[in-house]
Amino acid sequence: MSQQHEIPNAVTPPAGPLFGLDIDDLTALMLRLGQKRYRAKQIHEALYRQRVESVEQIAVFPVALRQGMTDAGFRIGQPAIAQTARSVDGTERYLMRMADGETVETVWMPDGDGGEEPDVADEPQFETPGSSYRRATICVSSQVGCAVNCQFCLTAKLGIRRNLTAGEIVGQVAAVLNRHAVAIGKNRINLVFMGMGEPFLNYAEFIKAVRLLVTGLGIPESRMTVSTSGIEPAIRAFALEPIRPRLALSLNASNDTIREGIMPITRKWNIRKLLDAVGTIPLRTREWITFEYVLLGGINDLPEHAREVLDLLAGIRSKVNLIVWNPGPGIAYTQPSAEAVARFQKLLVHGGIPTYIRRPRGRDIYAACGQLKRTIDPAPAPPLVALSEASRSAAPAL
């Protein structure tokens, strides 16, 4: 019998996580392992459609190949759910552990969060047998911590530790889908890149993750929304992407003075620059730009601010999501009054902009916007090493 399925030692590349490799990466890998090209398609299907959790589960591969890859140290390498917190409203927050011990948070919101999905009315409303949800939103992290330093955000307190790889971004989604036994196509899943981190400061891995989510997992790009604090060059690159989610811009203020105070990054790219960049995005049918606006009591929630927002957004096909600021330890802002929130919404709606108040989800478990931070620390904190080194040195298969 031919030895085709065994991995010749001489050509064994350093084994690493398979999750996150795209079809080109997998083709190169299979060829290096002395396999035929079609094996790449098979493993792609197993990783992203079937969402296998071990090399052993790649049923279409011959036993010898699975064994050979396992012996060579290959593993799927998805992040593992290390802790779960469940809110009274059904929201679940997961602490996801990466191969190098770093952790991020991912949130599952059954029934969506009321602010992200544009096309509910056209969707066939299906029932999932044996399950209490029909649709859900997963909020994904893009970095460990964040460098942007928005003054109202708890994640900012962590600083930045490192970028996540595409595999770690997609892996959060796969781990949560597996936990809830979700069948893409049957269950309606929305993704929001609104967890820890600034996706546009990790642009290459973020966009690679989007492609894997679309072509691998089968989640339509129209069901994904990426939120950015406003990284101008990345918004311009995003506008040129053939496959891209919808965009949400965290506006959060009605003029540069206020925005500089709460989002210091405004000094680098002011509101005008950001809106000009946003204007280059070719909007698809029934697509608009979402502007997020965190209301901070007495700072950006007055009628004059609402009027300034109307002026800013004139001419942009837009929607506004108002987010009542979620408090966090050590952050000295106050929440806006209910009257201020209602008044702000009314002024924008009267000005012709669809404006929604985002329901806070999972506030009791610190899963709401801006409340994500690692609740336990990896001990001891691992040194910051190159990603490939870090993931290679991780021992256990997840």
Q: Which is nearer to ligand SAH, 48 or 238 (CB)?
A: 238
Q: Where are the alpha helices (DSSP H) in the chain?
A: 23-32, 38-44, 63-71, 166-179, 203-211, 232-239, 256-262, 271-278, 303-313, 338-350, 387-392
Q: Using CA atoms, how far apart are residues 16 and 119, in angstroms rounded to an integer? A: 39
Minimum gap (Å) between residue 373 Cβ and ligand SAH: 11
3-state secondary structure of 130: coil
Interacting partner of 369 out of ligand SF4, ligand SAH, none (Cβ under 5 to 8 A depending on kind): ligand SAH
Query: Taking the C-alpha atoms of 234, 215, 317 and 356 in order, what is their torsion angle to the nearest 10 degrees?
Result: -100
DSSP output for 154-188: SGGGG-EEEEPPHHHHHHHHHHHHHHTT--BTTBE
Any idea which residues carry the catalytic annotation? 105, 369
Q: Which residue is nearest to ligand SAH (CB)?
A: 370
Candidates 1-9, 85-93, 182-190, 323-331: pick the segment binding ligand SAH (CB under 6 A): 323-331
Cβ contact 31:4 at 8 Å: no
Could you tell me the smallest distance in angstroms from the CB atom of residue 143 to ligand SF4?
Answer: 8
Pairing status of strand 289-295 against strand 246-250: parallel
Nearer Cβ to ligand SAH, position 20 or 195? 195
Residue with Cβ nearer ligand SAH (47 or 176): 176
Residues near ligand SF4 (CB under 6 A) = 146, 148-150, 153, 155-156, 197-198, 229, 370
CB of 37 to ligand SF4, least distance (A): 41
Please tell me the count of residues contacting ligand SAH according to CB under 6 A: 17
Burial string for 283-306 (b: 16+ CB within 10 Å, else e) reads beeeebbbbbbbbbeebbbbeebb
325 near ligand SAH, rule: CB under 6 A: yes
CB of 377 to ligand SAH, least distance (A): 21
- In angstroms, the CA 150 to CA 370 distance is 10
Instruction: Select the residue interacting with ligand SAH from 91, 172, 252, 254 (CB under 6 A).
Output: 252
Q: Of 182 and 226, which has the nearer Cβ to ligand SF4?
A: 226
Measured distance CA(72)–CA(11) in Å, rounded = 11
Shorter beta-carbon distance to ligand SF4: residue 171 or 328: 328
Residue 348-377 contact track with ligand SAH, rule CB under 6 A, x = bound: ---------------------xx-------
Stretch that binds ligand SAH, among 93-101, 105-113, 306-314, 318-326 (CB under 6 A): 318-326
Report whether 146 contacts 198 (CB < 8 A).
yes
Among 18, 43, 294, 309, binds ligand SAH (CB under 6 A): 294
| Residue 294 near which of ligand SAH, ligand SF4, none (CB within 5-8 Å, type-dependent) | ligand SAH
Partner residues linked to 85 by β-bridges: 93
Residue type, 374: R
| Angstrom distance (rounded) from CA 398 to CA 395 | 9
CB nearer ligand SAH, residue 116 or residue 221: 116
Q: Which residues bind ligand SAH (CB under 6 A)?
A: 152-153, 194, 198, 227-229, 250, 252, 292, 294, 323, 325-326, 328, 369-370
